[in-house]
Structure 1
Amino acid sequence: MRISRLASVAPRIFPTNHYTTLSPAVTIARALQEHINSPSPKPGKKIHADIIKTGLRPDLNISIKLLILHLKCGCLTYARQVFDELPKPTLSAYNYMISGYLKQGFVKECLLLVRRMAFSGERADGYTLSMVLKASPSLCRHVHARIIKCDVELDDVLVTALVDAYVKSGKLECARTVFETMRDENVVCSTSMISGYMNRGFVEDAEEIFDRTRVKDVVVYNAMVEGLSRTGETAKRAVEMYVWMQRAGFRPNISSFASVVGACSVLTAREVGMQVHGQVMKSGVYDHIKMGSSLLDMYAKCGGIDDARRVFDQMRERNVFSWTSMIDGYGKNGNPEEALELFAKMKGVHVAPNYVTFLGALSACSHSGLVERGYEIFESMQRDYSMKPKMEHYACMVDLMGRFGDLSKALEFVRAIPERPSSDVWAALLSSCRLHGDVDIASVAADELFKLNADKRPGAYIALSNVLASAGKWEKVSEIRDVMKARKIPKNIGRSWISAEKAQ
C-alpha cells in the first residue's frame, strides 16, 4: 500500500520520466534535495502538499529533507509539524530544528527543544552544545560541565562557542582556561578574548593575546582598534594599530573606519580624522549610515561643526543616532538655536528621538535661556513618546531653571521628582546657587549631596565654600574647610595642556 502511494506521488514530481529507473522514495528524496539546493526552494513545498494529499507517511529520509526544506523557506511552523510527526526524532533532526529556531531568534523555543532532547535520551553532540551557547551564553558553565561529563569532543566550533560564551558572561578567567587548552591557533577565539579583555579595560592582556596570534585577519585588528579607541590614554595607539593593519596588507572595512574615527573623536585629532575621511570616500562604504554618523560625530567633537553638517546633509539615509549626534554637536559647539531647529525638523520627518536626543535638546534650551521651550520638550517625553525621564534629564531641567535665577522653582522641581534625586541633580542646583549667590538653597543642595556621597564630591564642598565666601560668611567658610581637612577630602587641582608636536 505504501509503495503504491509513493508511486502515485513520483509522477507528479517528475512528469517527464526523470529518474524512471529509480524507486519512488528515491525519486521524491532527490526532488526535495534539488529544491533544497536551489536558491528559490519554495516550489518544493508542492511536493509536501502532494504527499499529504495521497495520505503517504514519508520515511525518515524524506521527512528530514522536508524539515530542511521548510527551514530553508523560513517556515518554522511547517518544519516543526514535520518534526513532531517523526516517531523518534534523530540527533540530526533535533539539530536542524534547534538551528532553525536559533537563526530566527526564537531562543526560548530553541532551549525548550534542547531540554526535550535531553529527556528523550538523545545525546547532544558538539554542534548541539555550540548552539545552546549561542542561544544563552549564561549557560556556559552548565554546557562546559556537560562537555566534560559526556566526553564530547572539543572541536574548533565548540571551543569557539564556549570561549565566546564565557567572554559574554564576563567570566574571562574561565574563557582564558579554555582558550589555553586549544591545540591549534584559532583567530576567532583570539578575537573573542581580545574583545573581552578590552571590554573590561585589561588592555595589556588583550595586547598579549594579539601578539601571540600568528595568523591575523582584519577582524582581530579591528578588535584591537575598537578597544584602544575608547579612552584618551589608548586612543593614539588605536590610530597606530590602524596604520599597522594596512601595512600588514589588510584593507580597512566599515568597522575599521568607524573605530579609528572614534579614536580621532577621543583625541580631537581633526586632521587625522580628515585623512581617514578621505580613505572612506575612496572605499565602498561612504554611503553607509554608520559611517556618516561616525564622521559627523567626530567633526562635531573636534569643533568642526560646519564639516559635521556637510556630512549630515550628504547622508542618503539618517537614523536617530545621526540626528542626535548633529543636535548634540550643535549644542556643544555653541549653536543652541541650530540644535533646536534640527530637533524640530527631526520630529517633522517622523524620526522618534531617544533619551540622548532629548538630553541634547534640553541642554540647547539651557544654553539659550529658553525655559518654556525646555518645559515643553521635557513634558513631551512622556506625553508624546511614553519615555520616562532619567536623572540626567531632571539634572538638565534643574540647570535650565537655575541658570536663569529661578532657584526656588528649581528646588520645588527637585523635591517633586518621583524617585530620590541623584547627586548630579543636587550638583546642578548647587552650581546655580553659586552662580547667583543663594546661600540658603546652596546649603540645602550641599547637605543632600553630602548625604549621598560626601567623599566623592570634593567640588560640592568648594562650591558651597565659594557661595558662603561671596556672601561674606567667613566663619562658615572656615568650618567647611576644617571638615574637608578632617575627612581628608582633597581639593582638585585644575590642569590644562597644549599640543607641543608642532611647536617651533
Structure 2
Amino acid sequence: MSALKRTASHAIEDFATVIRHCAKSKDLAKGRWIHSQIISDQKEYRENVFLANLLVQMYGKCGSPNDAKRVFDAIDAKNVFSWAVMMTAYTQNGYLQDAKLIFDEMPDRDTVAWNTMLAAYAQHGHVDEAKILFDSIPNPNIVSWTTMLTAYAQSGYMCSAKHMFDSMSPRNAIAWTSMLAGYARLGGILASRGLFRKMPQHDTISATAMVSAFAARGNDREACALFENMPERNVFSWTALLQGYAENRLLDKAKSYFDKMPAWNLVPWTVLVVSYAQSERLEIAQDLFVEMPERSIVTWNALLAAIGHAKSLEEAKLFLVTMPAWNLVTKNTISQIKEVKQS
C-alpha cells in the first residue's frame, strides 16, 4: 500500500472512531462538527459510503433523523447497510411512517430489516400494523415470532399471544417470559404460576418476572420463597421484590431487602423514597433522599409533596428552591400544597 493510500485509510478510520464516539455519547454538536470536517475535506472522504453510513447511524442515535436523512439522500451508491441504518434512525426516534417508507423502498430486504420494522411497530403498541407485517414476512424466524408474541402480551391481547405461543416451535426464554409477564399484568397469577411450572428451564429473567407477579399481587410469601431460591439474582430481581413490597405498603420489608442489595441503581432508591414519602413517613424518606447517589425528578417531586403535607408551606417553598429542575408535576404539587395550606 502506498504512503498516500495508507494515510487516507488512517484518516477514514480516525473519522470513523470520532463518529462512533459521538453516537455512543449522543454528542450531536460534536457529530455535526466532524461531519462538517468530512464535507470540507477531500472528495475521497466526502463520498465514502462507510463514513456516510456511520453518520446516518450517529444522527439517528443522537435524535436527529432529519440530519440522517440528508446524509442518506446524498449517498450515490447506497448499500444494504445504508438502508438499514436509515430505517433504524427513524424507528429509534418514533418516526414509524417514515421508517415504513424506507422499508418499502429497500431494494433488498433481509430478515433483519423485517424484524426491525416489526419491532418498531410492537414497541409503539401498533399491534395491528405489526400483525399485517408479520404475516407478510417470507420466512419469519424465532425473533419474528417472539416479537409478535411480545407485542400481543404487552398490549393485553393474551388470547392472540397464547395462539402465537402454542404455534411456536421451538420456544425461547423470551417467549415464555413474555407470556408470564402478560398474564401477570392482567392479574392472572394462576396462569402465570402454571406457565412458570411448565417451563423447561428457568433463568434469571423468567424467575424475576414471576417474583414481580407474586409481589405485585401481594403474595409476598411465594415471592420471597422464589427469590430466595434463585441461583442468580441481579439488580432487577432485587428491585422486583422490593417494589412489590412497597406497592403493598410493606415498607419495612422493602427496606430490609434494600439494605441487603449488593448493588443499587436509581430505580430501587426511587421506589423507596417515593413509597415512604407517600406513606407520610417523611423522616425515613428524607434520610434515604440525602443518601441517594443521584436523584430523579420523581424523587424530588415525591419529597416535595410529602413536605408540603407534613410541614408548612414555607418549608415546602424552601425545598422547592433547592430543586435543580421543575416539571408539570412540580407546579401542580406546589399549587395543591398552597390550596390546602391556605384554605
Instruction: Mark yes or no: TM-score above 0.5.
Output: yes
Task: Say if 2:111 and 2:140, in contact at 8 Å, map to a contact too.
Answer: no
Out of 218, 223, 226, the residue aligned to residue 268 of structure 1 is: 218
Task: Say if 1:163 and 1:178, in contact at 8 Å, map to a contact too.
Answer: yes
Distance 1:159 1:179 in 2: 8
Aligned to 2:109: 154
Aligned to 1:95: 53
**Could you report, residue by residue, the CA deviation over 1:213-238 in whole angstroms, capped at 9, with x for unpaired residues?**
21222222222233333232x34433
What is the TM-score with the length of structure 1 in the denominator?
0.55
Q: CA deviation at 1:166?
A: 2.3
Aligned to 1:135: 89
Structure 1 residue runs without a partner (length 5+): 10-23, 29-50, 52-57, 411-504
Distance 1:236 1:315 in 2: 29
Task: Say if 2:277 and 2:303, in contact at 8 Å, map to a contact too.
Answer: yes
Change (3 A) 1:384 1:82: closer
Task: Say if 2:215 and 2:244, in contact at 8 Å, map to a contact too.
Answer: yes
Out of 292, 295, 307, the residue aligned to residue 352 of structure 1 is: 295
After TM superposition, the runs of 4+ consecutive aligned structure 1 residues lying more than 6 A away are 72-80
Q: CA deviation at 1:135?
A: 1.9
Aligned to 1:381: 320
1:168 equivalenced with 2:123 (yes/no)? yes
**Could you report, residue by residue, the CA deviation over 1:181-216 in whole angstroms, capped at 9, with x for unpaired residues?**
223232222333233333433222222222222122
Q: CA deviation at 1:275?
A: 1.9
Task: Say if 1:90 and 1:122, in contact at 8 Å, map to a contact too.
Answer: no
Is the partner of 2:243 in helix, strand or coil? helix
Distance 1:323 1:351 in 2: 9
Measured on the aligned residues, the alpha-carbon RMSD in Å equals 3.8
Q: Which has the higher contact order (CA 8 A, sep 6+)?
A: 2
Distance 1:139 1:324 in 2: 31
Letter in 2 for 1:209: M
Aligned to 2:141: 186
Task: Say if 1:99 and 1:131, in contact at 8 Å, map to a contact too.
Answer: yes
Task: Say if 1:381 and 1:388, in contact at 8 Å, map to a contact too.
Answer: no
Aligned to 1:203: 158
Task: Say if 1:257 and 1:276, in contact at 8 Å, map to a contact too.
Answer: yes
Structure 2 residue runs without a partner (length 5+): 24-30
Q: CA deviation at 1:241?
A: 3.1
Change (3 A) 1:67 1:354: closer
Change (3 A) 1:65 1:349: closer
Identity %: 13
Change (3 A) 1:371 1:71: closer
- Trace 1:19-418 onto structure 2 (pairs within 5 A): 28=6, 51=7, 58=8, 68=16, 81=37, 85-87=42-44, 89-102=47-60, 105-108=61-64, 111-123=66-78, 125=80, 127-137=81-91, 138-149=94-105, 152-232=107-187, 234-244=188-198, 247-249=199-201, 251-253=202-204, 255-280=205-230, 282-283=231-232, 285-286=233-234, 288=235, 290-302=236-248, 304-330=250-276, 336-337=280-281, 339-349=282-292, 351-352=294-295, 354-355=297-298, 358-359=301-302, 362=305, 366=309, 370-372=310-312, 376-377=315-316, 380-388=319-327, 390=329, 393=333, 397=337, 401=340, 409-410=342-343
